[in-house]
Amino acid sequence: MRLGYFTMPVHPMHRNWAETLKEDREAIILADKLGFHDAFMGEHLTDACENITNSMMFQASLISNTRQIKLATGTANLSHMHPVLIAVQAAMFDHMAEGRFILGVSPGALTTDAEALGNLELDRNKMFAEAIDVILAIWERDPPYDIDFPDNRYKVSTARTMTLDLGVGIMGKPYQKPRPEIVGTVVAPFSPGVVLMGKRDFHPLSANFLLSCHLKSHWQNYCKGKAEAGAEAKVADWRVARAIFVGDDDKIAARYGRDDEKSPYRFYYEQMRRKMIRGKRLYVFKAYKDQTDEEITLDFVMDHCVIHGSVNRVVDQILALREEIGDFGELVYAGMDWVDPALNRRSMQLMAEEVMPRVNAAIGKSAAAA
């Protein structure tokens, strides 16, 4: 099982923007040194707490400061800009990173982003699907492209103005062949979008603010999509994100990972809970469909969404998660605000150097005995 990193990120509004940008960069540089497989960075235009406005720009700043980790948009919100821009900028990033690039995509869920862009009344899921078709076509075709799909608002051609012997009218293709890995973050239980991911060979990343009891539904829908495409689903392609804090002892872990009022984990999940209430999406935190909103307290969310403890306790919880939902290819560690930088760094170090080796040893032992 691989170890990945995902951060939205979520910082308190009072913090200096320049400082949080440095902190977010430091976290990914540390993840690279510790051997994390990949790092996803989120983006929003109009959120003072989730203050990365362009994940591709942010990740590009890390290419020369990292050596092995794959840098991923987490996600590029495809309703925010024309697909030509995404296609050529992602292709350029892929060359700059020499293949250490993953294109994470989503429609863009934040309504204030949509309002600011004038897209509030539009079907952003449809815009997302249309944009994906165009991005892939640009990467697959040669000029003049002549992309004109039925019921797709984006029409792309350079036929009228191209001069190919001067290089004019040509859009660059990615470094990776035939294209970079494309990953979609999945939030909703039983999401039908995961079926479409399977059909198109995009890979799912199950969000860390979904209860574990619903995670299996993502894999089932992904398998369904792959089967409909005549292909077999690969466990390695499924990423599962969890909020995890590893401490040197259980008391430190319980305090920083859950109980302290200044815990970044409490701050994060109170932010997520209130935003889900605002967006009428509190169902992501519910254990069953008819559970009342009043039951979804911060303590309920913390109990169900945060793994914390000393190394052995965290190992046991991860193995229990795998027993509950089945095998998956990558455990994605969710990054938080660094209230205590030393504790955050230590948690990442213990996760990479102690927890994952023990988890993988236990998986290997179980497989050998089967």
Q: What is the pLDDT of residues 299-314, one digit of tens each?
A: 999 999 999 999 999 9
Residue 119, pLDDT above cutoff 80 = yes
338 token code pair: 């660094």
The pLDDT value given to residue 112: 97
**CA 216/CA 326 separation, integer angstroms:** 7
**Cβ of 226: how many Cβ atoms within 10 Å?**
20
Smallest CA-to-CA distance from 336 within 19, 3, 24, 4 is with: 24
Contact by Cβ (8 Å): 333, 344: no
Read off the pLDDT of each residue in 77-93 and give the average, rounded to a whole number: 97
- Which residue type, as a one-letter code, is found at position 364? G
The pLDDT value given to residue 356: 98
Residue 98, pLDDT above cutoff 80 = yes
- Look up the pTM and report it: 0.97
**CA 71/CA 55 separation, integer angstroms:** 10
Q: Residue 141 — pLDDT band, cuts 50, 70, 90?
A: very high
Q: Does residue 265 sit in helix, strand or coil?
A: helix
Q: For a pLDDT cut of 70, what percent of the chain falls above it?
A: 100
**CA 71/CA 6 separation, integer angstroms:** 10
Read off the pLDDT of each residue in 227-233 and give the average, rounded to a whole number: 97
**CA 263/CA 98 separation, integer angstroms:** 38
Place of tokens 């077999």: 232
- The residues, any chain, with a CB within 8 Å of residue 308's CB and separated by 6 or more, are 244, 245, 246, 247, 253, 254, 256, 257, 258, 265, 314
Contact by Cβ (8 Å): 4, 40: yes
Q: Does residue 177 sit in helix, strand or coil?
A: coil
**CA 211/CA 213 separation, integer angstroms:** 5
* Residues linked to residue 308 through DSSP beta bridges, in sequence order: 245
The pLDDT value given to residue 297: 97
Contact by Cβ (8 Å): 184, 191: no
Contact by Cβ (8 Å): 309, 207: no
